Structure formats: C-alpha cells, structure tokens
Amino acid sequence: MNTILLASALLLGLFSCSVAFAAPTPFPFPIPYHSFCGTLWLFAKPCAEISTKITKQIQVFSPEYMLIAATPSTIKANHTSPDGSVQNISFSLGPTIQSGGCSVSALSISLGFTSLLDDGLNYCNLNKLLSASGLNTSSGFMELTTELACLGYGTTTCKV
Ligand SMILES: *[C@@H]1O[C@H](CO)[C@@H](O)[C@H](O)[C@H]1NC(C)=O
Ligand SMILES: *[C@@H]1O[C@H](CO)[C@@H](O)[C@H](O)[C@H]1NC(C)=O
Ligand SMILES: *[C@@H]1O[C@H](CO)[C@@H](O)[C@H](O)[C@H]1NC(C)=O
C-alpha cells in the first residue's frame, strides 16, 4: 500500500463522521458545508511531551486560539478568525506501536456553514500550532493526510 492510500484509509477511518459532510457532490459548486481539515501527525517522542507543546502554543496564541480542555490524551480548543468566524479544534493523542512514539489525530472544523473554498483556513489553524511550537522539526515528524480529508492540504501556503 502506498503512503497516500494508507493515509486515506487511516483518515477515512478516523474522520468518517466529519468526512460525511463532504459527500462528493460535484454540482452545484460551491456547496455550503462545514469545511474542515483532518490530519494525522506522527512523532518519535512521547505523547506527554507533544501534548504539553501543543497546549502551551494554544495558550501563547490566546485569544486567537482558546483552550477549552486538555487531558493527556485529548486537547480541545477553538480558533477565531479576523472576520469573527469560529472553528473547533481537537487533538487526540495515543502512543504508536513503535515504543516511545506518539500519533496525533488533529481536526479543525468550521462551525458556521462555509463554502468548499476556505483558503486552507482549517489546515492553517493546525499547521500554525505545529510550526510555531517547533513540532514540525521534531524527530521522526511525519504528516499523513489528503486533500479529501484536509481542505487546502498541498495547495495552501499558511501565513506564519
Ligand atoms: C471558545 O472557547 C472559549 C474557552 O472555552 C469560550 O469561552 C468561548 O465561548 C468559545 N467560543 C465559541 C464561539 O464557542
Ligand atoms: C464545538 O465545540 C463545542 C465545545 O467543545 C461543542 O459543544 C460543540 O458541539 C462543537 N461543535 C462542533 C460542530 O464540533
Ligand atoms: C517549521 O516551521 C517553521 C516556521 O513556519 C519554518 O520556518 C520551518 O521551515 C519549518 N521546518 C520544516 C522542516 O518544515
């Protein structure tokens, strides 16, 4: 199985509930729906360290990002865009089979109905936390997603 297929399989499993919003309806376009980005991050470091970094970064970015709840295995937050629209953000962390690693499934979803063209907003909500916390350079870091599971992935350059 190649990486893209593996990623789709993983993400469709993980985000099947959210993916339901994006039922492939080619017309009319754009269709109003809750745009979202679901992605999977792998790290060669323990989840405790990863979750601390993500949580701290959310707090540093307050009030743009607001922390709602954090446990060792889940982090919930929201993000408010300059136009006042709000997106829910959640992270679910678990150890990888390979000892000492951490797998993080991350989701950002627009609460209001938006068009399919969200300019990578939800992707950038997650990417901004990843790069600002330095986790994008963490050992063993790898991102698995597809444009189906994450609107704007591969096409958007996020403002830092
Ligand atoms: C975002 O989260 C903060 C902190 O929990 C909360 O006070 C605020 O009402 C939330 N915003 C929305 C729009 O849900
Ligand atoms: C957004 O997050 C709030 C607070 O955690 C929750 O009550 C609400 O159901 C979430 N909405 C969606 C669409 O996920
Ligand atoms: C990590 O993110 C920073 C800040 O956006 C960026 O300068 C750097 O090039 C990124 N590193 C990698 C390996 O992607």
Model pLDDT for residues 119-140, shown as the tens digit of each residue: 799 999 999 999 999 999 998 9
Distance CA 18, CA 21 (A): 6
Going from the Cα of 101 to the center of ligand 2, the distance in angstroms, rounded, reads 29
For the chain, the structural domain boundaries read 33-144
Angle at 10 between CA 7 and CA 12, to 5 degrees: 100
| Cα 36 from Cα 46, distance rounded (Å) | 27
pLDDT band, very low/low/confident/very high, at 115 (cuts 50, 70, 90): low
The pTM of the full predicted model, rounded to 2 decimals, is 0.82
From the CA atom positions of the chain, what is the Rg in Å? 15
Closest residue to atom 7 of ligand 2, CA basis = 88
Name the CATH topology of 33-144.
Alpha-D-Glucose-1,6-Bisphosphate; Chain A, domain 4 (3.30.530)
Q: In testing the pocket of ligand 2, which one of 36, 58, 65, 88 has its CB within 8 Å of the most ligand atoms?
A: 88
158 C-alpha to ligand 3 centroid (Å): 11
Q: Exposed (0-12), middle (13-18) or buried (19+): which is 45, by Cβ within 10 Å?
A: middle
Residue 18 confidence (pLDDT) above 70: no
Closest CA to 43 of 2, 118, 100: 100
User: Which ligand neighbours the alpha carbon of 79 most closely?
Assistant: 1
Q: Which protein residues touch ligand 1 with a CB less than 6 Å away?
A: 66, 68, 78, 86
Residue 20's pLDDT is: 39
Contact between residue 159 and residue 82 where contact means Cβ atoms under 8 Å apart: no
If you search the block for the tokens 């979202």, which residue do you land on?
A: 36
